[in-house]
Amino acid sequence: MPDTLSPPSGIGPAAPTGLAARIVGVIFSPGETYRSLVAHPRVLGVLAVTTIVMAASVFAFLSTEVGQNATLDQQMQVMESLRINLPDQFYDQMEARAGTARYFAGGGILVTAPLICAVVAGIILLIFNVVLGGEATFKQAFAIVAHSQVLLALQQLFILPLNYARETMASATTLAVFVPMLDQTSFLARFLGWIDLFRIWWFVSLSIGAAVLYKRKSGPIAWTLLGLYLVFALVVAAALTAFAGA
């Protein structure tokens, strides 16, 4: 895991960069991009772009018959795996409301994505400022988190066309795609289905941003976040498997 260190003495703060350069920089040169953001925190532009991209891509996918059918299939598979038996009228209502799902999904992203960024920024401040004695501002932390969301927007642009071609909602970037022979209701399949490669990339990028912000090494931060991510996936997979077998 690469470590991100503060710039050598004698080198001034990073120069401000434009929105397009920051978006590309998060993907190809996160350390330099986050260093510029710490010196010149900016939030609104990238938050608007990434949120709109995610909401619009989901809205477009759910506007297609393939997307609506894939969503219904996924919902039914989840209920069947959890042994939830509902009357036929309920399934008829689900099909009747399939066309409106795009509005709820797209609108939900528009509302929740900025809020989630703010919450994650608050958690970073709580851990590094309050517990570890750091001195970063909320705007700096918010800028780091908002720019890391570029990777989540990129994930949507990558997987939704694949989901359309495959006619499924199952993500093509989880570890579960490498073991298609597993029973989808098994513990291992559920666990691997929660481990997403784009999410791992996001955690690593966020770790680099936090390391730049607090002048720490990124490796320990990244391994801690990834460890918590794995524990969360284990707990969720175990709970779903236990509930389905009850």
pLDDT at 99 over 80: no
CA–CA distance from 220 to each of 105, 162, 202 (Å)? 35, 34, 15
pLDDT in the model for residue 245? 63
216 Cβ neighbours under 8 A, 6+ residues apart: 210
CA-CA distance, 237 to 7, in Å (whole number)?
42
Answer yes or no: are the C-beta atoms of 35 and 214 closer than 8 Å.
Answer: no
pLDDT for 167 equals 86
Of 1-10, 84-93, 185-194, 214-223, the range with the lowest mean pLDDT is: 1-10
Q: How confident is the model at residue 86 (pLDDT cuts 50, 70, 90)?
A: low
pLDDT tops 60 at residue 92: yes
Higher per-residue pLDDT: 88 or 72:
72
**CA pair distance 227, 20, nearest whole angstrom:** 32
Instruction: pLDDT band for 74, please (50, 70, 90 cuts).
Output: confident
Query: In this predicted model, which residue has the larger pLDDT, 96 or 201?
Result: 201
* Mean pLDDT across the chain: 88
| Residue with more model confidence, 126 or 94 | 126
Residue 4: pLDDT above 70?
Answer: no
């779903």: which residue's tokens?
240
Residue 234 has pLDDT above 90, yes or no: yes
Under the banding of pLDDT at 50, 70 and 90, the label for residue 57 is: very high
Residue 168's pLDDT is 86
Q: How does pLDDT run across 200-212, given as a tens digit for each residue?
A: 999 999 999 999 9
Question: What value does the CA radius of gyration of the chain take, rounded to a whole number of Å?
Answer: 20
Give 129-180 pLDDT, tens digit per residue: 998 888 999 999 999 999 999 999 999 999 999 999 988 888 889 999 898 8
Query: What pLDDT, on a 0 to 100 scale, did the predictor assign at position 82?
Result: 63
pTM greater than the 0.75 cutoff? yes
